[in-house]
Amino acid sequence: MKAEVSRRKFLQGSVAMTILGGTAVTAPNLLSNEHAAKPSIISKTGTGANTKVVPTLCEMCVNKCAALARVENGVITKLDPNPLFPKSRNMLCPRGNAGIAALYDPDRLKYPMIRAGEKGEGKFKRVTWDEAYDYIKEKTLKILDEEKDNRSSFLFCAGEGMAEHTFKSFYEAFGSANWLNHASVCLQTVVSGYGVTLGGYPQADMENAEYIIMAGANRAEAIVTPDTMDLFKRTKRRGAKLICVDPRFTNTAAKADTWLAIKPGTDLAFVLALTYVVLTEELYDKKYVAENFNGFDEYKSTVINNLYTPEWASRITNIPSKEITKIAREFMAHAPKAIYYPGRRSTFAKNDFQLRRAMAIFQGLGGGIDTKGGLIFGKKLKLKTRESLAPLYDRAQGRAMGKKVKKAKGQTGYEDCAIVASGGSWIGWRNRFLEGKMPYKVRGMFIYKHNPVMNTPNSAKTIEMLKKMELVVAIDTMPSDTVMYADVVLPEAHYLERTDPVKTFGGLEPSIAQRNKVIEPMYETKPVRDILRSLTRMLSKPIFEITKKYDEMVQEEIEESGEAKVFAEFDINLPFRENQEHFNEHEVSQYPGAAEALATRGVFYPNMDKYFKQLSVNEHEYYPESEKAYTVRGGKPKTRSGKVECNLSNLAKKGIDPMPIWRKEYEYTIPEGKFRMLTGRHAQFTQSGTSNNAKLRDLMPENFIWINKRIAKEKGIEFADMIEVSSSVGKTKLRAYPTEKIAPDAVFFIHGFGEESEALTWAYRSGGNDNAIIEDHTEPVYGAAAMHETNVEIRKV
């Protein structure tokens, strides 16, 4: 019986050791602007009067789980799961529960500010909204005038969120071609790899799969709804066999039947060897392949002729060849109810795009596509969309891309990537900007809910970039490291203080959900839509004057049809005029009763009242089995050809391998005395956005660096010793966690800690910042950040 882990033992053994005890932070005393840490009376729920419950959607991570907010006397006292939402299945994770601490965080951005000191110094003066808008207007007009109406002299950046598109409408109306979002530090390669191979980024039917290979994904810690909930009710010999492939022993490994400690960055060799076994032993679904594959014979002969044998892969991956053979056979024995889990992480190795292609093809060999227990495309409830305003500015230059260069065999691509995706390459763009390789001057920057100083490898370079920008406008809720380099700070309302654009969630059980405002925005904060409405109202006419001055096309049009008519097409205020609630009502107007259901219950789907059933206190049924969208295309992939694309000659034209193959350059050895730096996620934190959350820091106040126990012993490192981690680009400091859960030649710590912003009371220099030391490696296809390609040194300090 191992359950005898006592409170004391638990505390001793826990990384979550805290010295924070006693800082009582309860909702009421956070309403003041001071950092009052006075102990309050017990703040349990049910003590206030005037109680109401408002359905909303969580924003503590990307999942958007449905929550019910309990409000007592105008204060949110509790967030509970909203059982009506099929995606989040009646649950809220620790971060979802801690949303209240984010709302009442005393460090929140409270009013508009203009920089008063040097960039990064953290000195700002409080201004009125109009003063802030005036400042932005003046600087924007100056830059646009000097750049002769080249709208692309401004860069727009956004993090993920329900209002990301609202901000993007500002970028589109403004007319810049420079858009950088989270994609290139997020899931660009996985989405694109599956996109070109299967025609879409599929979901996984974790409720019915019998065999799951989870490689480089960690659903017990990087929670994705509903995958996490569906999977772990069925592991441990309860219906789903789980093979976890990860260089670290994660919480997912703890729930697996088999854990395979793979060498970082070699998953592609593992998949190719699985494929080799399946092809040579002819275990694949021959009927499915004959009907649904393109380029199968070429791929088959490539894999076989290259001798991607289990023995070959074993030497590269450190996974025993017998295990590879066994897994390949077991997977195909369970197919099509077998899943090679796609995952949705950042790019780790330079071969990630090819890895995703190989995974998608392997999945197809078992026929587990668009079918129960396999990968599924599902259905999506359509929303009414409106035309966005995207005026044509003749003087606006194209996106600031790298130079076109000749790749091998006369093929062309760009100097830092083969394909420029809509979200761009953060590292590529930033480095070109710093190296003076821009085709024109980019002088201003609007940032929404995005923290590139923390989220993009090589923080020092991102800081340099922000310092070089003449105008940086940041819209955010927290004084992040990035906000410290802003010239103007515009405080956004917290997610519990605003109604966001309604969103449709596709899948097996499609639904529509809405984030409803729970309480009025505190301080002087506003939803981004309201911020942009006011800002564009002030900007619209003056910047049109600049267009009039330089844009000959516009001049001609005005002569022909008059200024009023032309201005109507250039009025950047247009997309923001309507209020959010009204906008949402229109978007769902084709579904009777939807707007009301979304406002009062948070969730809507056709026949919800008929279909939704509570099966037990914990379990609910959202759709009857016969209505679940397991198969929507008769098992065919969503590619234009309707087939799994093994061999893409159009990729070859851009200098990309047309089929997934292993290249010698993917192999590496770690120099003596160095360690492979690994980063990753955690169930209690979502990147840097949650690093100052008091309730989450209560569980783990700082991140720790995992060092193999034997190595730690050799180096005289003990638990909680301070360690300096350094690479060619920087240094960071954090405490040690010696453990056997990591290889002797690797170190790991979770992302999102070690912020340098002094305005973050708790996050300031708490733990280490991975991106201070991760080097700016990019993968060759999209220029996405390759985050596991850095070797580091460690020393006790």
Partner 1 sequence: MARYGMALDYKNCINCKACEVACKEENGILMGADKHRIWVGTGEIEGEYPLLSIASNTFYPSQCQHCDDAPCQEVCPTNATYYDENSIVRVDPEKCILCSYCMNACPYDARYVDDRTVTVDKCNFCTDTRLDRGEVTTACQATCPTKVRIFGDLDDPESEISQVLRERESKTLKAHLGTNPKLFYLL
- Please give the residues from 625 up to 684 whose contact with partner 1 meets the rule CB under 8 A: 683-684
From the list 102, 163, 209, 229, which residue makes contact with partner 1 (rule: CB under 8 A)? 229
For residue 670, give the nearest of 249, 244, 266, 355 by alpha carbon.
266
Coil, strand or helix at 221: coil
User: Is 522 among the residues that bind partner 1 (CB under 8 A)?
Assistant: no
User: Is 599 among the residues that bind partner 1 (CB under 8 A)?
Assistant: no
Binding segment (CB under 8 A) for partner 1, from list 35-43, 112-120, 153-161, 447-455: 35-43
User: Is 35 among the residues that bind partner 1 (CB under 8 A)?
Assistant: no
CB of 228 to partner 1, least distance (A): 6
Compose the 237-256 pattern: x for residues touching partner 1 by CB under 8 A, - for all others.
-x----------x-xxxxxx
User: Is 438 among the residues that bind partner 1 (CB under 8 A)?
Assistant: no
From the list 49, 617, 649, 673, which residue makes contact with partner 1 (rule: CB under 8 A)? 617
User: Is 491 among the residues that bind partner 1 (CB under 8 A)?
Assistant: no
Nearer to partner 1, 95 or 498 (CB): 95
| Beta bridge partners of residue 683, listed in sequence order | none
Alpha-carbon distance of 760 to 780, in angstroms, equals 36
- Residues written for the chain: 797
User: Is 142 among the residues that bind partner 1 (CB under 8 A)?
Assistant: no
Q: How many residues bind partner 1 (CB under 8 A)?
A: 84
Beta carbons within 10 angstroms of residue 414's beta carbon: 20
Cβ pair 677, 791 in contact under 8 A? yes
- The kind and range of the H/E element at 29 are helix 27-30
Mutual angle of helices 321-334 and 267-280, in 10-degree steps: 60
Binding segment (CB under 8 A) for partner 1, from list 291-299, 462-470, 600-608, 615-623: 615-623
**What DSSP string describes 665-714?**
GG---PPTT-EEEEEE-BTTB-GGGGTT-HHHHTT-SS-EEEEEHHHHHH
Helix, strand and coil content of the chain, in percent to the nearest 5, comes to 35, 20, 50
- The kind and range of the H/E element at 267 are helix 267-280
From the list 469, 694, 772, 773, which residue makes contact with partner 1 (rule: CB under 8 A)? 694
Binding segment (CB under 8 A) for partner 1, from list 33-41, 335-343, 535-543, 550-558: 33-41
User: Is 323 among the residues that bind partner 1 (CB under 8 A)?
Assistant: no
**What DSSP string describes 319-366?**
--HHHHHHHHHHHHHHTTSEEE--------STTHHHHHHHHHHHHHHT
Alpha-carbon distance of 448 to 510, in angstroms, equals 29
Nearer to partner 1, 238 or 409 (CB): 238
CB of 740 to partner 1, least distance (A): 5
From the list 206, 213, 243, 261, which residue makes contact with partner 1 (rule: CB under 8 A)? 261
Binding segment (CB under 8 A) for partner 1, from list 223-231, 463-471, 557-565, 660-668: 223-231
User: Is 235 among the residues that bind partner 1 (CB under 8 A)?
Assistant: yes
- Please give the residues from 40 up to 99 whose contact with partner 1 meets the rule CB under 8 A: 40-46, 77-81, 90-94, 96-98
CB of 709 to partner 1, least distance (A): 8
Alpha-carbon distance of 250 to 242, in angstroms, equals 13
CB of 78 to partner 1, least distance (A): 6
Binding segment (CB under 8 A) for partner 1, from list 155-163, 545-553, 610-618, 621-629: 610-618
- Please give the residues from 700 up to 759 whose contact with partner 1 meets the rule CB under 8 A: 708, 710, 739-744
User: Is 616 among the residues that bind partner 1 (CB under 8 A)?
Assistant: yes
Alpha-carbon distance of 323 to 714, in angstroms, equals 32
Cis ω before 452 (30° cut-off from 0): no
The two tokens of residue 265 are 């960055």
Residue 404: φ, ψ to 5°: -70, 130
From the list 3, 290, 408, 564, which residue makes contact with partner 1 (rule: CB under 8 A)? 3
User: Is 324 among the residues that bind partner 1 (CB under 8 A)?
Assistant: no
User: Is 348 among the residues that bind partner 1 (CB under 8 A)?
Assistant: no
Binding segment (CB under 8 A) for partner 1, from list 200-208, 220-228, 648-656, 658-666: 220-228
Query: Which ranges constitute the DSSP H helices of 494-577?
Result: 528-550, 552-561, 563-570
Nearer to partner 1, 39 or 398 (CB): 39
User: Is 553 among the residues that bind partner 1 (CB under 8 A)?
Assistant: no
Amino acid identity of 400?
A
